[in-house]
Structure 1
Amino acid sequence: MRIGSPSTMAKNSPRTPTAKRKTGRRHPLAAVALIAIGLVSTGGAYALFTSSATADTTASQEQLIDEGGKLFAANCATCHGMSLQGTSEGPTLIGVGEAAVHFQVSTGRMPLAASGPQAEEKPVQFTDEQIQALYTYVGSKSPGPGLPSEETLAGDGDAALGAELFRINCAMCHNVAGAGGALTQGKFAPALTGVESIHVYEAMVTGPQNMPVFNNQNLTVEDKANIITYLQFLDDNPSVGGFDLGNLGPVSEGLFIWIFGLGSIVAITVWLTAKSN
Structure 2
Amino acid sequence: MAKLNQPTTSGRKSAQRKTGRRHPLATLALIAIGLGLTGGVYAVATSTSSASAETATASQQQIDDGQKLFEANCATCHGMNAVGTTVGPSLIGVGAAAVDFQVGTGRMPMASSGPQAQEKTPQFTQAQTDLLAAYIASLAPGPGVPAEQYTDGKGDAAAGAELFRINCAMCHNVAGAGGALTEGKYAPPLKGVTPVHIYEAMLTGPQNMPVFNDRNITPTQKADIITYLTFLEKNPSPGGFALGDLGPVAEGLFLWIFGLGSIVGLAVWITAKSN
| 1:194 to partner: Cα distance | 1.9
Report the equivalent of 2:52.
none
| 1:85 to partner: Cα distance | 1.2
| 1:241 to partner: Cα distance | 1.9
Quote the Cα distance in structure 2 between the aligned partners of 1:249 and 1:94. Answer: 40
The answer on 1:258 being equivalent to 2:256 is yes
- Determine what percentage of the aligned residue pairs are the same residue: 69
SS of 2:59's equivalent? helix
Report the equivalent of 1:142.
140
Give per-residue Cα distances to partners, 1:189-220, cap 9 Å, x unaligned. Answer: 11111210000000001001110000112101
Large movers: runs of 4+ above 4 Å? none
The aligned runs of 1:108-123 (5 Å cut-off) are: 108-123=106-121
| 1:239 to partner: Cα distance | 1.4
Quote the Cα distance in structure 2 between the aligned partners of 1:251 and 1:85. Answer: 45
Aligned residues: 220
The aligned runs of 1:90-109 (5 Å cut-off) are: 90-109=88-107
Quote the Cα distance in structure 1 between the aligned partners of 2:154 and 2:135. Answer: 32
The aligned runs of 1:1-12 (5 Å cut-off) are: none
Report the equivalent of 1:228.
226
SS of 2:193's equivalent? coil
Report the equivalent of 2:78.
80
Quote the Cα distance in structure 1 between the aligned partners of 2:69 and 2:261. Answer: 58
Give the unaligned 5+ runs of structure 1.
1-56
Report the equivalent of 2:154.
156
Report the equivalent of 1:53.
none
Quote the Cα distance in structure 2 between the aligned partners of 1:237 and 1:263. Answer: 31
The aligned runs of 1:189-268 (5 Å cut-off) are: 189-268=187-266
The answer on 1:61 being equivalent to 2:73 is no
| 1:93 to partner: Cα distance | 0.6
Question: What RMSD in Å do the two structures reach over aligned CA positions?
Answer: 1.4
1:132 to 115, 130, 133: 130
Give per-residue Cα distances to partners, 1:13-36, cap 9 Å, x unaligned. Answer: xxxxxxxxxxxxxxxxxxxxxxxx
The letter of the residue matching 2:76 is T
The letter of the residue matching 2:106 is G
**Which deviates the most, 213-222 or 60-69?**
60-69
| 1:120 to partner: Cα distance | 0.9
Give the unaligned 5+ runs of structure 2.
1-55
Report the equivalent of 1:47.
none
The letter of the residue matching 1:268 is L
Give per-residue Cα distances to partners, 1:87-127, cap 9 Å, x unaligned. Answer: 11111111100000000001111000001111111111111
Report the equivalent of 2:272.
274
The letter of the residue matching 1:72 is F
| 1:269 to partner: Cα distance | 2.6
Quote the Cα distance in structure 2 between the aligned partners of 1:121 and 1:98. Answer: 19
The letter of the residue matching 1:199 is H
SS of 2:122's equivalent? coil
Quote the Cα distance in structure 2 between the aligned partners of 1:276 and 1:128. Answer: 69
Give per-residue Cα distances to partners, 1:241-266, cap 9 Å, x unaligned. Answer: 21111111112101201210121122
Quote the Cα distance in structure 1 between the aligned partners of 2:65 and 2:259. Answer: 61
SS of 1:195's equivalent? coil
The letter of the residue matching 2:183 is Q
The letter of the residue matching 2:208 is N
TM-score using structure 1 length: 0.77
| 1:273 to partner: Cα distance | 3.0
